[in-house]
Amino acid sequence: MKESMIDVLNLDTMSTFEILKKVNDEDKKVAMAIEKELSNIEKAVELILESFEKGGRLFYIGSGTSGKLGVMDASECPPTFGTHDSMVQGIISGGVEALSGWLENTEDDPGLAIHDLKMVNINKKDVLVGITASGNTPYVASAMEYAKGIGCKTIALICNSKGIIKDICEVAITIEVGAEVLLGSTRMKAGTAQKMVLNMLSTVAMIKLGKTYSNLMVNVRPINKKLQQRVREIVKLATGMDDILVNEILEICEYDPKVCIVKIKSDVTLEKAKDALEKSKGNVAKAIAILQ
């Protein structure tokens, strides 16, 4: 990651509050740095959408903190958007063991990256996002080269404009966050920047796919009491109906918020609501438009 001049020589002699202030001041710069890359983030989302529409998958790949962030974002897509577990996947060098510990030596193994991609049968319909603060991690660079070689679309998420993978991929998102408060600790600003961009990539792609209605998570899976309550709140917000009616229709719809919203908003039978959603490929707004 590109290092800029920053006075941290006396960090260990500062008061707790002074250190916190220094960290917070640096963190404020992250959103501004991301704003400069919104056009490239938009291009990345378009590539992801194109892949999804062709039946492809989204893969994140990285080592250390970067890999963990990719795995975390991927793991949140099924409960948030009701996606199949295979639709968005995170790959970290070192595998599961690297998630709870650290296997940083694996980031220098280019052959391991190719092995890991072959294990998930990555193909030309898929899109691969390589995450690395330096932009030079051998594991990620090798993955990007291999993916590009088989026709897979590639996106780089890096924090160094001189990173080598910038020249490998179709789209490079380069978030120049500057030097870390704790020099070289890319789990800080660089990690924050990567997490924020990953949020944008997956969330915006899912919104464009019709996984939401307005800003409501209508694809959420009500697998426990907390999520069942969230579904009730989502339906109430979408329809303006009271608790009694919402609960009654949710029971009929087997707690499927999309079916419930379409049924209430369009005042149709359960069968017609389901049919409209099937025709609209699960898009609530389009299903309601069909029925109107």
Could you tell me the CATH number of the domain that includes residue 188?
3.40.50.10490
Report the alpha-carbon distance of residue 50 to residue 157 in Å, rounded: 19
Domain-terminating residue out of 147, 179, 208:
208
Q: Are residues 179 and 283 in the same domain?
A: no
The arithmetic mean of pLDDT across residues 167-186, rounded, is 94
Tell me which of 18, 46, 104, 107 is the catalytic residue.
107
Report the alpha-carbon distance of residue 220 to residue 257 in Å, rounded: 8
Known catalytic residue at 107: yes
In this predicted structure, what is the pLDDT of residue 222?
A: 86
The secondary structure of residue 176, as a DSSP letter, is -
Q: Are residues 137 and 234 in the same domain?
A: no
**What are the backbone angles phi and psi of residue 172, rounded to the nearest 5°?**
-115, 120
Q: Are residues 70 and 155 in the same domain?
A: yes
Domain-terminating residue out of 208, 236, 260:
208
Q: Are residues 252 and 203 in the same domain?
A: no
The β-bridge relationship of strands 58-62 and 171-174 is unpaired
Q: What is the CATH number of the domain that holds 256?
A: 1.10.8.1080
- Percent of the chain at pLDDT exceeding 70: 97
Higher pLDDT, 169 or 223: 169
Known catalytic residue at 271: no
Q: Are residues 200 and 271 in the same domain?
A: no
In this predicted structure, what is the pLDDT of residue 103?
A: 80
Closest CA to 32 of 256, 196, 161, 160: 196
Q: Are residues 200 and 99 in the same domain?
A: yes
Q: Is the pLDDT of residue 9 over 70?
A: no
Tell me which of 76, 170, 254, 278 is the catalytic residue.
76
Q: What are the beta bridge partners of residue 89?
A: 59
Q: Quick check: is 217 in a domain?
A: no
| Residue 165 contacts residue 158 (beta carbons within 8 Å) | yes
Per the prediction, the chain carries an average pLDDT of 93
Q: Quick check: is 6 in a domain?
A: no
| Residue 158 contacts residue 132 (beta carbons within 8 Å) | yes
Report the alpha-carbon distance of residue 192 to residue 251 in Å, rounded: 41
Q: Quick check: is 215 in a domain?
A: no
Residue carrying the six token digits 């991929």? 169
Q: Is the pLDDT of residue 173 over 90?
A: yes
Q: Is the pLDDT of residue 3 over 90?
A: no
In this predicted structure, what is the pLDDT of residue 1?
A: 46
Q: Quick check: is 125 in a domain?
A: yes
Q: Is the pLDDT of residue 12 over 70?
A: yes
Instruction: Supply the range of the domain harboring residue 239.
Output: 225-291
Q: Band the pLDDT of 101: cuts 50, 70, 90.
A: confident
- Tokens representing 164? 């080598």
Residues in the chain, total: 292
Q: Quick check: is 218 in a domain?
A: no
Higher pLDDT, 11 or 132: 132
Q: Are residues 75 and 38 in the same domain?
A: yes
Q: Are residues 168 and 255 in the same domain?
A: no
Q: Quick check: is 204 in a domain?
A: yes
Give me the sheet containing 171-174, strands edge to edge: 88-92, 58-62, 127-132, 153-158, 171-174
Domain-terminating residue out of 163, 181, 208:
208
Q: Please state the domain count of the chain.
A: 2
Higher pLDDT, 118 or 226: 118
In this predicted structure, what is the pLDDT of residue 7?
A: 54
Full-model pTM = 0.92
Residue range 122-147, pLDDT digits in tens: 999 999 999 999 999 999 999 999 99
Q: Quick check: is 219 in a domain?
A: no
Q: Quick check: is 235 in a domain?
A: yes
Q: What are the beta bridge partners of residue 154?
A: 128
In this predicted structure, what is the pLDDT of residue 6?
A: 53
| Residue 143 contacts residue 164 (beta carbons within 8 Å) | no
Q: Are residues 197 and 248 in the same domain?
A: no
